[in-house]
Amino acid sequence: MTDIDSTHPDSTRPETRAVHAGREDFIALGIHAPPIDLSTTYPVADLAAGTASFDALVGGDASARNPIYARLHNPTVARVERALATLEGTEACVAYASGMAAITALLLASRARGAHMLVVRPLYGTSDHLFASGLAGLEAEFVEAHEVAARRRPDTALIFIETPANPTLDLVDIRAVVAAAGDVPVAVDSTFATPILQRPFELGASYVVHSATKFLGGHGDVIAGIVCCSEANAKPLRQVRAATGGLLHPLAAYLLHRGLPTLALRVERAQANAIELARRLAAHPAVECVFFPGHGTVRNAHLATTQMRGPGCLIAFELRDGYIAAARTMQRVALMTPAVSLGSVDTLIQHPAGLTHRVLDDATRDRCGITPGLLRLSVGIEHVDDLWADLEQALRQDSVVVREAA
């Protein structure tokens, strides 16, 4: 077992870091709960010092003597950024008002390196839509992971992968993609895994992206996004944030930080529930197939025990009767919540083809395995027997008339 130096937060285990990260100065401050700063502006008593602070923050520095204006810097946001960087093992973290704001900023910052990006599908539907639209100024080329080396161009600015993938839970070998990428930065959307189960930066990724709305927030009351990376890569991200106004609100930062101490507990409990629910779903007569890294039913499932520390907390499953059965199941659940999003303490069930991935065209959904009968389950921390009882009654095959979506 590796020796742990408890005096250095970065050397402790993830479960400990989740509790203590961003709180290292509490004793010196004489506090026990994270402070919150809601100021929108800060007094400038010394104009020369204020001007220097303005230049530093607009230039992408992490801090300055005077925050000047909350769009440029907020102490509460900076505190949770330090905590999340510690969790991911990076020098820096840049927080945004949503996961999509974080990804957009990453694309905009990447334009200085070139005009082309490679993207491995499947991934979150809105991310896919943003990339395909070219709205952020990069030409997105969608490839398989094994094609990265061959499809890389001199003007390729970024390679983007999501693992586990939304919604099919396919896994992508981060080390292999990094090796194929050469000197092109690799960004990994690690939302489904969390820093508890996967640390892409340690595997060579340049950027680690999270929709912090999900597991990191964990309670369905925060919308946030983060990019963890080196300090050098963080500076352009902060410049984009300062110019576009995408800063995370300090109240959201406070709530995000407050939720981190229970992150490991939530993930471990939800993962244990997911393992059992996946087993029971696989044996249910209404279910055609269960997609779960712990079952070997997703691409590169072996990575769940090598690249990851477990199979995670999400399950996708295909119903034999297709769309009708999927809609009926969502209509019938009573304990689970039929809603998009994931990573909350309660269990959510949703229909990717009709909701999160509705923005994709039919051909793309088909190629990614997002069928009319596919449901995605984000497993919460409730008692597993109660969750199964709810799901089992919802899967009953007696007739309920449901109109198929156009």
pLDDT for position 4: 36
Task: Examine residue 35 and state whether it is found in any structural domain, yes or no.
Answer: no
pLDDT for position 257: 98
Q: What are the φ and ψ backbone dihedral angles of 118, each rounded to 5 degrees?
A: -110, 140
The CATH number assigned to the domain holding 279 equals 3.90.1150.10
Task: Examine residue 350 and state whether it is found in any structural domain, yes or no.
Answer: yes
Question: Mean pLDDT over residues 341-368, rounded?
Answer: 97
Domain that holds residue 382: 263-394
Task: Examine residue 349 and state whether it is found in any structural domain, yes or no.
Answer: yes
pTM of this structure: 0.94
- In 3D space, the residue among 376, 292, 368, 287 whose CA is nearest the CA of residue 340 turns out to be 376
Q: Which of 128, 170, 173, 189 is catalytic?
A: 189
Q: How far separated are the first and last CA of the chain, in Å rounded?
A: 56
- Give how many domains the chain has, as a whole number: 1
Task: Examine residue 23 and state whether it is found in any structural domain, yes or no.
Answer: no
Question: Mean pLDDT over residues 214-219, rounded?
Answer: 98
| Annotated catalytic residue 71 | yes
CA distance 246 to 38: 16
What's the pLDDT band for 405 if we cut at 50, 70, 90?
Answer: very low
| Annotated catalytic residue 151 | no
CA distance 128 to 119: 9
pLDDT for position 322: 97
Question: Mean pLDDT over residues 196-225, rounded?
Answer: 98
pLDDT for position 11: 74
Q: Which of 82, 152, 199, 214 is catalytic?
A: 214
- pLDDT digit string (tens) for 280-310? 999 999 999 999 999 999 999 999 999 999 9
pLDDT-above-70 percentage for the chain: 95
pLDDT for position 357: 97
What's the pLDDT band for 398 if we cut at 50, 70, 90?
Answer: low
Q: Which of 71, 111, 151, 258 is catalytic?
A: 71
Q: Which of 96, 124, 207, 323 is catalytic?
A: 124
What's the pLDDT band for 1 if we cut at 50, 70, 90?
Answer: very low
Task: Examine residue 301 and state whether it is found in any structural domain, yes or no.
Answer: yes
Query: Strand pairing partners for 337?
Result: 348
| Annotated catalytic residue 42 | no
Task: Examine residue 185 and state whether it is found in any structural domain, yes or no.
Answer: no
| Annotated catalytic residue 111 | no
Task: Examine residue 170 and state whether it is found in any structural domain, yes or no.
Answer: no
Task: Examine residue 282 and state whether it is found in any structural domain, yes or no.
Answer: yes
- pLDDT digit string (tens) for 121-139? 999 999 999 999 999 999 9
Long-range contacts of 356-361 (CB under 8 A, 24+ apart): 356/124, 356/125, 356/126, 356/166, 356/167, 357/125, 357/128, 357/167, 358/125, 359/125, 359/126, 359/128, 359/129, 360/125, 360/128, 360/129
- pLDDT digit string (tens) for 51-68? 999 999 999 999 999 999
Alpha helices per DSSP H over 116-247: 125-133, 148-151, 174-181, 194-197, 231-244
